[in-house]
Amino acid sequence: MNLFTSFALLTLLILTTPIVMSTTSIHKNNKYQSYVKNIVFCAFITSLIPAMVYLHTNQEALISNWHWITIQTLKLTLSFKMDYFSLMFMPVSLFITWSIMEFSMWYMHSDPYINQFFKYLLLFLITMLILVTANNLFQLFIGWEGVGIMSFLLIGWWFGRTDANTAALQAILYNRIGDIGLLASMAWFLSNMNTWDLQQIFMLNQNSPNFPLMGLVLAAAGKSAQFGLHPWLPSAMEGPTPVSALLHSSTMVVAGIFLLVRFYPLMENNKFIQTTTLCLGAITTLFTAICALTQNDIKKIIAFSTSSQLGLMMVTIGLNQPYLAFLHICTHAFFKAMLFLCSGSIIHNLNNEQDIRKMGGLFKALPFTTTALIIGCLALTGMPFLTGFYSKDPIIETATSSYTNAWALLLTLTATSLTAIYSTRIIFFTLLGQPRFPPSTTINENNPLLINPIKRLLIGSIFAGFILSNSIPPMNTPLMTMPLHLKLTALAMTTLGFILAFEINTHTQNLKHTYPSNFSKFSTLLGYFPTIMHRLPPHLDLLMSQKLATSLLDLTWLETILPKTTALIQLKASTLTSNQQGLIKLYFLSFLITIILSMILFNYPE
């Protein structure tokens, strides 16, 4: 009997305290921010204990407290699943949230509603943890919707700006389309397996069914911005940088991938779903990497980079490696959050300038941010023995040496080199060269609230991969031998990308094209996807519904079919077949005479 379950529940309970305190006086003054930050730190410490116990003794737990309701044969309880995934994810996410909260104490310093901002961030964290620790699909759905709502509220934080409102609405709509898949899967599980509990679903799984897994893939595509449902993620950069760092890089967008990782016992036997996720992930990673190449907003480049890495995680799931995908989730969170924090530092120091064409020469002006940015980009591209290497390289190795779709593999490799290219673009345009910003801004990064979070995430970006991959228990046999050229594939693609990018970027100093080429236009306009999909289908839908309602229902079925047609036929027939004058009185007189005559004839036959 150890402190495993109590500390796991204590973590969740600690986080709800500031929400409860929001009615008291502490919510009204400046101390609320440090209060929330310290609470998250305490939650991080208490979540380390179950994680350590798990790493030491491989003890998993299922906490089932409160029986809520039994609807005929469905029993719904409040149950938390403390297994490998949730126990590893909780400390990582709490660490990153702690750093982001400290950063947002600096970034959102001048915002009058900063306490509400912290409350929203905390609510988001709580719902994310509900999602991660859920043992039944109902609780997962609560967390799922919760992160969607908080994403909406946080993206639209500066709601006076039209673009922010549009982006928030876009996020909700695309997530809703994914929710259809999740609800369909839940309905299937309810009607076929009579449960929403993960244990029972995995036990009763005879022949992996296609329909609920496709629903889950749709849900993951919506939440994790896979191709087809991806435009909300770059638009979500309208929110403040801490929001982008927390939600749209490390925590919320991995919820979809996390869902698929949770359901790996169902997916490991279904080749069709694996191929689907593989191809979807490959398309996503390449497409978003292409789009990232010509963006000019630093946050959008990092957002597309996130989308590309999510595609990579999807590819990993398609290769039947859920644990590797989960490791990539954890390691990616570190350096992606740090990249966002560095970009936030740059943006604030340049007086809210987000266009990389107007940055430059920050190498000497912001040395610490520069260091962090470079290390973050290197970790992102998979530089050997930094964090990204320990998850990205095994993914590429597994992809190259498994019996899989070669086209998807080629796309993934191309996206790997493109990763290096846009990372070089970020470094080149923001840090190197001569400054392109007005010199009247005071550049000062000498604030401990800014330095300390980035410092922590920096140490995490360097060492977390090593620490994590040496601590976790091995879940499947790793691949030990492969030909040398396959082992060096990822490194070679990345180096190729770096060299190409550096060459092309130095060209921009000297040679400028007068007009953009077709490929450049394709990349800048995000593959024409938002332009087409946000205008054409709504227009067609509304046109069709208007035509159906007005022309078909009202005009045709209710008016023309019987009344007007009858009148028309009568008119035509009578003008066609009649040759009479309108002598009605005479006609009626003839009727009368006929009647009298027939009565006489038939009554008096003799």
CA distances from 466 to 52, 387, 429, 462 (A): 16, 7, 31, 8
Candidates 168-176, 505-513, 518-526, 586-594 — which segment interacts with other proteins by CB under 8 A? 586-594
Rounded to whole angstroms, the Cα distance separating 212 from 189 reads 7
Neighbours of 226 (CB within 10 A): 28
- Shortest distance (Å) from residue 601 CB to other proteins: 17
Contacting residue, 582, 601, 602, 603, with other proteins by CB under 8 A: 582
Task: Check residue 578 for interaction with other proteins (CB under 8 A).
Answer: yes
Rounded to whole angstroms, the Cα distance separating 423 from 374 reads 9
Q: Which is nearer to other proteins, 439 or 582 (CB)?
A: 582
* Structural element, H or E, at residue 163: helix 162-193
Tokens describing residue 406: 């070669």
Task: Check residue 407 for interaction with other proteins (CB under 8 A).
Answer: no
Task: Check residue 603 for interaction with other proteins (CB under 8 A).
Answer: no
Q: H helices within 350-447, ranges in order?
A: 362-365, 367-381, 387-400, 406-431
Task: Check residue 484 for interaction with other proteins (CB under 8 A).
Answer: no
**DSSP letter (8 states) at residue 366:** S
- Closest listed residue to residue 199, CA positions, set 132, 271, 263: 263
Q: Which is nearer to other proteins, 549 or 573 (CB)?
A: 573
**Phi and psi, residue 494, nearest 5°:** -65, -45
Neighbours of 330 (CB within 10 A): 26
Task: Check residue 207 for interaction with other proteins (CB under 8 A).
Answer: no
Q: What is the largest CA-CA distance in the chain?
A: 135
- Closest listed residue to residue 386, CA positions, set 436, 318, 332, 422: 332
Rounded to whole angstroms, the Cα distance separating 117 from 533 reads 32
Task: Check residue 509 for interaction with other proteins (CB under 8 A).
Answer: no
- Closest listed residue to residue 456, CA positions, set 46, 11, 133, 37: 37
Task: Check residue 591 for interaction with other proteins (CB under 8 A).
Answer: yes
Candidates 49-57, 243-251, 484-492, 590-598 — which segment interacts with other proteins by CB under 8 A? 590-598
Rounded to whole angstroms, the Cα distance separating 519 from 62 reads 52
Grouping H, G, I as helix, E, B as strand and the rest as coil, residue 159 is coil
Contacting residue, 584, 602, 604, 605, with other proteins by CB under 8 A: 584
Contacting residue, 69, 473, 585, 600, with other proteins by CB under 8 A: 585
- Shortest distance (Å) from residue 192 CB to other proteins: 56
β-bridge partners, 64: 79
Q: Which is nearer to other proteins, 56 or 585 (CB)?
A: 585
Contacting residue, 532, 544, 549, 595, with other proteins by CB under 8 A: 595
Task: Check residue 600 for interaction with other proteins (CB under 8 A).
Answer: no
Candidates 11-19, 232-240, 316-324, 576-584 — which segment interacts with other proteins by CB under 8 A? 576-584
Rounded to whole angstroms, the Cα distance separating 225 from 307 reads 6
Q: Which is nearer to other proteins, 113 or 588 (CB)?
A: 588
- Shortest distance (Å) from residue 582 CB to other proteins: 3
Candidates 239-247, 265-273, 341-349, 587-595 — which segment interacts with other proteins by CB under 8 A? 587-595
Grouping H, G, I as helix, E, B as strand and the rest as coil, residue 360 is coil
Q: Which is nearer to other proteins, 477 or 579 (CB)?
A: 579
Task: Check residue 592 for interaction with other proteins (CB under 8 A).
Answer: yes
β-bridge partners, 136: 197
- Shortest distance (Å) from residue 574 CB to other proteins: 6
Rounded to whole angstroms, the Cα distance separating 344 from 336 reads 12
- Shortest distance (Å) from residue 565 CB to other proteins: 19
- Shortest distance (Å) from residue 554 CB to other proteins: 23
- Shortest distance (Å) from residue 575 CB to other proteins: 8
Q: Which is nearer to other proteins, 440 or 579 (CB)?
A: 579
Helices and strands in the chain, H and E counts: 27, 2
Candidates 150-158, 340-348, 514-522, 591-599 — which segment interacts with other proteins by CB under 8 A? 591-599
**DSSP letter (8 states) at residue 355:** B
Per-residue b/e over 436-475, b at no fewer than 16 CB within 10 Å? bbeeeeebebeeebbbebbbbbbebbbebbeebbeebeee
Task: Check residue 579 for interaction with other proteins (CB under 8 A).
Answer: yes
Contacting residue, 29, 434, 514, 580, with other proteins by CB under 8 A: 580
Candidates 71-79, 81-89, 476-484, 580-588 — which segment interacts with other proteins by CB under 8 A? 580-588
* Structural element, H or E, at residue 61: strand 61-71
- How many residues of this chain bind other proteins (CB under 8 A)? 14
Rounded to whole angstroms, the Cα distance separating 118 from 38 reads 12
- Shortest distance (Å) from residue 577 CB to other proteins: 10
- Shortest distance (Å) from residue 586 CB to other proteins: 10
- Closest listed residue to residue 7, CA positions, set 67, 41, 53, 38: 53
From the centroid of its chain, how far is CA 369? 27
Contacting residue, 351, 402, 545, 574, with other proteins by CB under 8 A: 574
Q: Which is nearer to other proteins, 555 or 568 (CB)?
A: 568
- Shortest distance (Å) from residue 580 CB to other proteins: 6
Candidates 130-138, 494-502, 552-560, 573-581 — which segment interacts with other proteins by CB under 8 A? 573-581
Q: Which is nearer to other proteins, 406 or 586 (CB)?
A: 586
What residues make contact with other proteins under the rule CB under 8 A? 574-575, 578-582, 584-585, 588-589, 591-592, 595
